[in-house]
Structure 1
Amino acid sequence: MSIFKDDRLVAVSYFDVTYLAQYSTLAFYEPTESRRSLGILTMMLEILHGLKNKKNFHYPGHAYYEQSIYEYKKQFHNTEYYNWEVEDWHLLNRKK
């Protein structure tokens, strides 16, 4: 996904697509545009792409349970994480 402001590239994201799902692999944004939450925008566009192409799942890519630069990914409802200790999926408490 590419996001332009006028003729200037301000954000880009890459994602892998499989038969049933897709996976956000990498994203960049122009630091002077950080207030625009371009990571959220590119992820929403990826999700929209998945819906249009009948994908069952969207994996938002790397994030940490602890606070990190990936906090924006934790703002979505019904996000799950895999707990390797009990080998099961759990609902992630949404960050506000």
Structure 2
Amino acid sequence: MADRFSEITSAEEFIRLRQSEDPAEANRSARAALPLPVWWDLVRNHPDMRFWAAHNRTVPPEILAELVRDPDWRVRDRVASKRNCPV
């Protein structure tokens, strides 16, 4: 079994973890890192996951800069609550 905080390698893996009924898997989606191309795939091709992308503790600044302009106020609010929120 992989370390619960090991890197998430695809948008599909992130979505599966986020939608899991297993709390450990859902928690991993909030804490594990993703490579930048996976972040872009997630936010561009899965708009229903943008809130959860913003919820992740490792979300990079360039993704936050994209998410802060999201039409969904919940996504923008989540980004605004981040310590490294873009100006």
- Give the shorter-chain TM-score range: 0.3 to 0.5
Point out the structure with the larger helix share.
Answer: 2
TM-score normalised to the size of structure 2?
0.36
Higher share in strand:
1
TM-score calculated relative to the size of structure 1: 0.33
Rg comparison, structure with higher value: 1
Q: Which has the higher contact order (CA 8 A, sep 6+)?
A: 2
